[in-house]
Chains A and B, each alone.
Chain A
Amino acid sequence: MERSFATEIESLKLGEGATFRGEGILAVTKALLQSGVSYVGGYQGAPVSHLLDVMVQARDYLDTLGVHVESCTNEASACAMLAASINYPARGAVTWKSIVGTNVAADALSNLASAGVVGGALIVVGEDYGEGASVIQERTHAYAMKSSVWLADPRPNLPTIVRTVESAFELSEASNTPVIMELRIRACHVQGEFVARANRAPAVSTRAPLAEPAAFLYDRLSHPPVTFKQEKLKGEVRMPAARRFIVERALNELFAGTRADAGIIVQGGLYNNLVRALQLAGKADAFGASEVPILCLNVVYPLVPDEIAGFCAGKARVLVVEEGQPEYIEQEIATLLRRADLDTRLFGKDLLQSAGEYSTEAILSGVVKFLDADATALAGAQAARDAGARLLGGAVPPRPPTFCVGCPERPVFSAMKLVQQDVGRLHVGADIGCHAFGTFEPFSQGNSILGYGMSLASIAGVTPFQQRRSVAIMGDGGFWHNGLLSGVSSNLFNKGDGLLVIMKNGYTSATGTQELISSPEEALKRMAGAGSATGTQMTIEDTLKGAGVKWLRTVHNYRVGDMMKTLKEALTTAERGLKVIIAEGECQLERQRRIRPINAARQARGERVVRVRYGVDESVCSGDHSCIRLSGCPSLTIKDPTDPLKVDPVAHVNNNCVGCGLCGEVAHAATLCPSFHRTEIVFNPTAWDRLVRRVRAFFIGLVAPRGGSAKGAP
C-alpha cells in the first residue's frame, strides 16, 4: 500500500475526552469504532480510500475489539456484505467512491433496501462530484430515492461528521433501513478536530460469536411475495420512523436569522460555502450568524414535511441550495408547499447554476439575486479572471496527470503507438485505472471508457464491423473488479475476437496501490529484489487458461520491441478468438518503495551499490522531441540548448530518473536517435572496480582524441 497509517492508527485508539486531529475520512473511521461497528468493508477509490486502508492496516487493533474488516473486490461485494445486518443485530459499514461504486453496488443495494435491516447499516460514499472529480458527474441522491434508503449529507466539519455517523446507525436501526452518508472530496480530506469518545466493542463480533445462525424468516428475503409487503413497509412504516427520528434527534439544524420574510434551505455539505457567500454579500458574519434563517439538511433524504413546512410558513420567499441536477430536493419541497397550501415563493435552480460544483462563487451569484444583496465580491471574482486573462494574453495549457516516472504501463502505450504506424489506427477500448492516462498526450489513445473493467465488453459490438482487430486495455485492478466476468467470460462464451491487454502491475495502483488477489506475495517480493515482483505471480494467467483463453502471451513491459512484435502478431494472426497479452511489470511506486531503503542502507553500510540512470547527449540531440512523443516520462524533459546555434530546446533526463530504460528501448524500437545512453554508477566501488577503471582509462587514453583526460570516462 502506498501510504502507511501508523500514526493514524494510534489516533483511532483515542479514548473518551481526548482530542482527535486529522482528516475527515479518518474521523469517520474513528466514529465507526465509537459506534460499535461489527464489520467493515469496501472498495478503494478517492476520496474514501483512506477509510479502508487505515482499517486494513489496523487489523491487529481491530481484532482486539472483534471487528471484522474485508477488502472487497468490488462495490457489489461490499454492499452485499451488509446482508449481515438483515438478520443480525450487528452494525456494519461499507465504503466506496460514488457515483461509480454505487452503480456497481446497485443490485445488492436494492435487495438490501427491500429486505431492510435490524442492525445498523451505513454506507459511506465519497461523492466524487465537482472540481477534482475523476468520474462522470451524477448524484448519489437518485439511488437513495429509488431504493428508499436514507441519505445523510453532513456539514463539512469533523464534529458534525462524527455525530452524523453515530446517529446514522441509530437512524438505520430505528427505521430498519440502510443509511448512506455522502462526503464530498474536500470534506473527506478536510483537516480538523473533534472530542473523541471511547471505542465500543461490538456485541456481535469475532470475539463474541453467535451460537446459532438466524432462524428462517421468509420476510427477510427480497423475493416475492414478501417484496410487495416490503415495498409497503418502506413508505408506511420505515419512512415515518426515519422522519420521527430525524426530528427527535434534530439531525437537521435550524440557524435562526434576523429576517422573517426569507429563508434558505441548504444541503449540509454546502453549508460552509453558503455562509461564506452570505458573508461576502454582507448578510452574515464569519461565525455563521446570518440575517436570513437557514435550514441545514444534514439528512437530505427523506425530507420531513412538517419541518420544511414549519420553516417556510410565514416566509415570503425561500431559496433551496442544492448541488447538481436534477433538483430532487427542490422539486420535493415544491410538492410539500403545495400540499401544505403555503404560498411561499420557491427559488432554486432558477437562480443557481444547474451543472457543476456549488462553490462559494456559484452560491454567491444565486444569493445576490435572491436577496438583492451586495454584488461587489461577485464582480470582483469576474474582474480577477478578466484581469488574469488580459495579463496572460492566452490560455494556460492543461496539466493532466500522467504515468509516474518509470511506470511500467507507459511502454505499452509507446509500443501501441509504434505498432499503429505499421498496422494502421486501431479502435481502443480504454478502462479505469492508471492506464487511462494513456488517453492523454503524448499517447492520446482510447475511443471509449465505459467503466471499471468494462473495456473488453465495450468493444464486443465494435470488433465485428472493424477490418482491423480492436484492442481493449485493462488493468489487473479492473480485471478482478469486473473485467473477468463482464469482459472475458462474455467474449469467450460468444466466441468473440479482439485483443485484450492486461496491465499486470500487481496492485490497484491508481487508488493507492492496494493489494489484489494477484498481488505478489511477500516471498515473491523478496525474491524479486530490485526486479519486477509480478513476473512469477500467475493467478491471472491461470484464471484465463482455466476460462478457456487459447492465445495468451506474457510480455515484460519494458521490452518495447517484444511488446510491439507481440501486439502485431495478435493483431494480424489468422487465429480466431480472444487474444490476451499480459503486460507484466510491477508498479514502479511499489518497486521503488521496496528497493530504495534497501539500496540506501547498503550504500550507507559501505557496500557496493549500482545506480542506473539514463541520459541524453545534448550535442547529439537535435531537439525534435520525437522521444518525448513516444514516452511522456516526467523525468524526460527539455532544457535550453547550450549550443548557441540550436534554437529549439533539447531533450534532457533529470535526476528523478529511476532507470526503467524506456527511453533507450523506445530509441531502439522506433529507431529514433542515438543520443540516449545508460549510465551505471558504482557507489562504494570495490578494489576490482577501481582496477578495471584504471586499466580502461589507460587504454582509452591511447585512442582518445586530444582535449581532455580519459580518466573520467570509465
Chain B
Amino acid sequence: MTGERCLTLVIGALGGEGGGVLADWIVATAHAAGLPVQATSIPGVAQRTGATTYYIELFPVRRDALGGRAPVMCLSPTPGQVDVLLYSELVETARAVQLGLVTQRTTVIASTHRVYLTAEKMHLGDGRFDADRALAAARGAAGRAILFDMEAETAAAGTVISAVMFGALVGAGALPLARADAEAAIRAGGRGTEASLRGFAAGHARARGETGADLPAARAQPAPPAVPPAARVAAAFPESVRDVVALGVERCVDFLDDAYAALYLDRLAPVLAADRAGGGGPMYMTTRETARFLALWMCYEDVARVADLKTRPQRFATIRRDAGIGDDEPIRVIEFFKPGYDEIADLLPEPLARRVRAFARRRGRAAIFERGIHVQSTAFFGYLQLRLLAALGRWRRRSSRYATEQQQIERWLAAIAAAGTPALATEIALTGRLIKGYSDTHARGKENFLRILGTVIEGDLVADAAERAIAVRRAREAALAAAEPGPLDAALAPYGVAPRAPKAVPITFHPRAARR
C-alpha cells in the first residue's frame, strides 16, 4: 500500500551561505506549481560557520488533484531515501556520502570547491582531506552527479552561492520545479535580485551542461621557472628533476649570488650520483626531494630576506589582486615586525652574535620592542628602511646563522649520502620538510629535525635500512601532526628514544585566603 511517495531533497550549506533563503525559494517554487511541500532545518549554532542542513519534501502531485488528502511529510532525511542532494562544499558532500544519504537513486549536485576545516588548516604540514577521494566517492555513490565549482560561478555572478545552487537544482530537472516559477520566487524575495538571477542562470546552465566542463578545477600546476635551466643543470641532471633543480638554482641566485647557486649544485651532485648508483628509478625521488628542500633550506628566511621579499614591486600587485581591487584605489600596507635579539644575532658574525644572545638572556626577553613595530611599506621611509634591511643580505656569508645552517645542511646531506638504500635516502631527504617557520616555530621544527636526525637516522638504533626508512617516515609524520611533542615522542619511543623533558614552568603559590 505504498503508491506515490514524496520526493526528498537534502541541502547542505555552511553558515552565511544563504541556505535558509534557498529553502524559501524552493518552497515558493513548489507552491507556484501547486505541489505540497515542506521544508525544515537545524540552524542553531551551525549558523556560526558550522555545517547545517535543510530538508525538503515535496509531493509530485498537485494539491488540487489529491481530493483533500495531505501527504505526511518527514522532517529529516533517511539514508537510502534521498532523491536530490544539493551541497555547497566538497567535503560536506563526502560527509553526506558517509551518512548514507547518497545512493543510486540520488542526483548529487555539489560544488567542488573547498572550505577547509580547522583540523585541516592547523596541521603543520598538509592536513587537507583528499579532494579526489571525496569526488570519487560522490561520483561512485550517486546515480547522477553534477559537480562543479559553484564558488567560482558565484564570484563571477557577484552573488551568494545559494543562487547558483538554486539554478543548478532547477537546471538538473530532478525535481518538478519550473525555471519561470523559480525566477519569480527570487524576484519576490527582493534584495540583490539581479545578482541572484545571474547566479541562478549560471548554475542552471552548468547543470544542463550548456557551459563549462563538468569537471572540478584541477589543482594548480607549478609554473615553470622564469628562466630556462642553466646549461649545467641541463647537462648534469636527468629530465625528471630538472625543473626543481632549475628553480633551486634560480632561488639561490636570488637569495645570494651565482656562487651560492654553484654550491647548491655541488651539494646535489653526490646525491644524484648515489641515486644513480642505487638505481634511483626514472623519477629520481631522492634527488628531486633533496633538491627541493635543499633550496628552501639554503634560502632560509632571515630578516634581510623577508625585507627583500616585502619590497618587490610585484608584491603590491599581488596584494591588490587578493583584495579584489584594481589600480585605482590608493592603498596603505602596514607590516608587522617583532624583531627579536635572535634575529639580529642571526645577521651578525658569531662572536658578536654570542654577545647579543647573552645580553638577551640576561634581560630575560626575546623581543627588542615589546609591542613590536609597524612599518608602512607604502610610505617612502618605511620602504627605505626595508630596502636597507634587505641590503644586509649581501653580508650573509659572515653571519652566525649562515654558519649554523650550512653546518646542519652538510650533516643532513651526509646522512642522505650514507643512507645506502634509495628508500631510506628519500625518507631522510623528506625530513627537510620540518625546517620551516619563524622564531619559536622554526626552533621547534629544527629541534624535531635534529632529534630525528640524531636518533633514528644517524644512530644505530634501527639496524635494518628498510625498518629505518619506516622509522624516519613515522617520526616525520608525527612531528608534522602536532605542535606538541607528544606524537613525536610516541613515534620515537619504540626505538628506545627517551621522551623530551618537559619545559620547566615557574610555579606560583597562592596561599588560601584566611577563613572568616
B residues 311-329 near A (Cβ < 8 Å) are 311-320, 322-325, 327, 329
Give the segment of B131-139, B159-167, B208-216, B266-274 that binds chain A.
B131-139
A637 and B121: CB pair below 8 A?
A: yes
A131-B42, A287-B69 given; A696·B438 CB < 8 A: no
A232 to B: closest C-beta gap in Å? 41
A632 and B38: CB pair below 8 A?
A: no
A653 and B98: CB pair below 8 A?
A: no
A289 and B441: CB pair below 8 A?
A: no
| Among candidates B1, B308, B436, residue contacting A623 with C-beta atoms closer than 8 Å | B436
Residue B71, interface by CB 8 Å: yes
Chain B's interface size range is: 35 or more
Chain A 277-309, CB within 8 Å of chain B: the 1/0 string? 001101111111101000000000000000000
Whole-angstrom distance between the alpha carbons of A192 and B483 in the complex?
A: 50
B44 and A713: CB pair below 8 A?
A: no
A668 and B1: CB pair below 8 A?
A: no
Give the segment of B171-179, B229-237, B241-249 that binds chain A.
B241-249
| Among candidates B2, B97, B329, residue contacting A282 with C-beta atoms closer than 8 Å | B2
Chain B 96-125, CB within 8 Å of chain A: the 1/0 string? 011111110000000000011111111111
Residue A646, interface by CB 8 Å: yes
A190 and B505: CB pair below 8 A?
A: no
A619-B309, A649-B128, A714-B331 given; A624·B441 CB < 8 A: yes
B408: chain A residues within 8 A (beta carbon): none
Residue B379, interface by CB 8 Å: yes
| Among candidates B46, B97, B128, B436, residue contacting A388 with C-beta atoms closer than 8 Å | B97
A645: chain B residues within 8 A (beta carbon): 244, 247-248, 251, 292, 295-296
| Among candidates B79, B115, B311, B367, residue contacting A361 with C-beta atoms closer than 8 Å | B79
Chain A's interface size range is: 35 or more
A679 and B42: CB pair below 8 A?
A: no
B98 and A392: CB pair below 8 A?
A: yes
A47: chain B residues within 8 A (beta carbon): 44
Residue A517, interface by CB 8 Å: no
B53 to A: closest C-beta gap in Å? 9
| Among candidates A190, A497, A622, residue contacting B301 with C-beta atoms closer than 8 Å | A622
A132 and B313: CB pair below 8 A?
A: no
Give the segment of A102-110, A313-321, A686-694 that binds chain B.
A686-694
Residue A670, interface by CB 8 Å: yes
Whole-angstrom distance between the alpha carbons of A51 and B270 in the complex?
A: 75
| Among candidates A391, A469, A574, A712, residue contacting B313 with C-beta atoms closer than 8 Å | A712
A367 to B: closest C-beta gap in Å? 13
Whole-angstrom distance between the alpha carbons of A679 and B380 in the complex?
A: 16
Chain A 606-629, CB within 8 Å of chain B: the 1/0 string? 000000010101111011111011
B509: chain A residues within 8 A (beta carbon): 467
Residue A225, interface by CB 8 Å: no
Whole-angstrom distance between the alpha carbons of A282 and B318 in the complex?
A: 62
Give the segment of A244-252, A378-386, A476-484, A529-537 that binds chain B.
A378-386
Give the segment of A214-222, A396-404, A448-456, A539-547 that binds chain B.
A396-404
Chain A 418-431, CB within 8 Å of chain B: the 1/0 string? 00001110000000
| Among candidates B102, B121, B383, B439, residue contacting A672 with C-beta atoms closer than 8 Å | B439
B436 and A674: CB pair below 8 A?
A: no
A residues 621-656 near B (Cβ < 8 Å) are 622-626, 628-629, 632, 634, 636-638, 640, 642-649, 652-653, 655
Give the segment of A137-145, A204-212, A334-342, A703-711 that binds chain B.
A703-711
B103 and A186: CB pair below 8 A?
A: no
B64: chain A residues within 8 A (beta carbon): none
A residues 149-194 near B (Cβ < 8 Å) are 156-157, 184-187, 189-192
B380 and A699: CB pair below 8 A?
A: yes
B residues 66-94 near A (Cβ < 8 Å) are 66, 69-76, 78-81, 91-92, 94
A622: chain B residues within 8 A (beta carbon): 301, 436-438
A131: chain B residues within 8 A (beta carbon): 42, 76
B75 and A377: CB pair below 8 A?
A: no
A561 and B371: CB pair below 8 A?
A: yes
A605 to B: closest C-beta gap in Å? 16
Give the segment of B335-343, B345-353, B399-407, B411-419 that binds chain A.
B335-343
Residue A393, interface by CB 8 Å: yes
Whole-angstrom distance between the alpha carbons of A571 and B509 in the complex?
A: 10
B516: chain A residues within 8 A (beta carbon): 495
B128: chain A residues within 8 A (beta carbon): 638, 649
Give the segment of B217-225, B278-286, B355-363, B455-463 that binds chain A.
B217-225
A692: chain B residues within 8 A (beta carbon): 330
Residue B51, interface by CB 8 Å: yes
A191-B39, A273-B75, A672-B438 given; A286·B6 CB < 8 A: yes
B192: chain A residues within 8 A (beta carbon): none
B117 to A: closest C-beta gap in Å? 5
B72 and A377: CB pair below 8 A?
A: no
B44: chain A residues within 8 A (beta carbon): 46-47, 132, 134, 185
A residues 663-708 near B (Cβ < 8 Å) are 664, 667-668, 670-683, 685, 689-690, 692-693, 695-696, 699-700, 703-705, 707-708
Whole-angstrom distance between the alpha carbons of A608 and B66 in the complex?
A: 60
A709 and B335: CB pair below 8 A?
A: no
A389-B98, A618-B318 given; A497·B323 CB < 8 A: no
B314: chain A residues within 8 A (beta carbon): 707-708
A133 to B: closest C-beta gap in Å? 8
A681 and B325: CB pair below 8 A?
A: yes
Count contacts between A and B, CB distance < 8 Å.
427
| Among candidates B23, B91, B222, B437, residue contacting A673 with C-beta atoms closer than 8 Å | B437
Give the segment of A68-76, A84-92, A433-441, A518-526 that binds chain B.
A433-441
A644 and B39: CB pair below 8 A?
A: no
B437: chain A residues within 8 A (beta carbon): 622, 624, 626, 673
A89 to B: closest C-beta gap in Å? 37
A189: chain B residues within 8 A (beta carbon): 40-43
A384 and B101: CB pair below 8 A?
A: yes
A640-B220, A653-B322, A700-B383 given; A713·B510 CB < 8 A: no
A571-B508, A622-B436, A696-B380 given; A276·B323 CB < 8 A: no
Residue A489, interface by CB 8 Å: no
A49 to B: closest C-beta gap in Å? 10
Residue B421, interface by CB 8 Å: no
A647 and B38: CB pair below 8 A?
A: no
A565's nearest neighbour on chain B, judged by CB, is B370
A423: chain B residues within 8 A (beta carbon): 505-506, 508
A624: chain B residues within 8 A (beta carbon): 124, 436-437, 441-442, 445
A388-B97, A497-B512, A714-B330 given; A190·B80 CB < 8 A: no
A441 and B118: CB pair below 8 A?
A: yes
B76 and A186: CB pair below 8 A?
A: yes
B512 and A288: CB pair below 8 A?
A: no
What are 8 A-B pairs with beta-carbon distances under 8 A?
A46-B43, A283-B1, A404-B49, A495-B513, A655-B324, A668-B338, A673-B439, A708-B314
Can you name 8 extra interface pairs (CB under 8 A) apart from A381-B100, A638-B116, A645-B296?
A132-B46, A384-B80, A384-B101, A398-B117, A624-B441, A637-B116, A674-B338, A678-B336
- Tell me the A residues contacting B by CB distance below 8 Å: 46-47, 131-132, 134, 156-157, 184-187, 189-192, 271-273, 275-276, 279-280, 282-289, 291, 357, 359-361, 364, 377, 380-389, 391-393, 395-405, 422-424, 434, 437, 440-442, 464, 467-469, 495-497, 510, 561, 571-572, 574, 576-577, 613, 615, 617-620, 622-626, 628-629, 632, 634, 636-638, 640, 642-649, 652-653, 655, 664, 667-668, 670-683, 685, 689-690, 692-693, 695-696, 699-700, 703-705, 707-714
- Tell me the B residues contacting A by CB distance below 8 Å: 1-6, 14-15, 23-24, 27, 38-51, 55, 59, 66, 69-76, 78-81, 91-92, 94-95, 97-103, 115-126, 128-129, 133-134, 136-137, 140-141, 219-220, 222-223, 243-244, 247-248, 251, 292, 295-296, 301, 306, 308-320, 322-325, 327, 329-338, 340, 366-367, 370-372, 377-380, 383-384, 387, 433, 436-442, 445, 483, 505-516
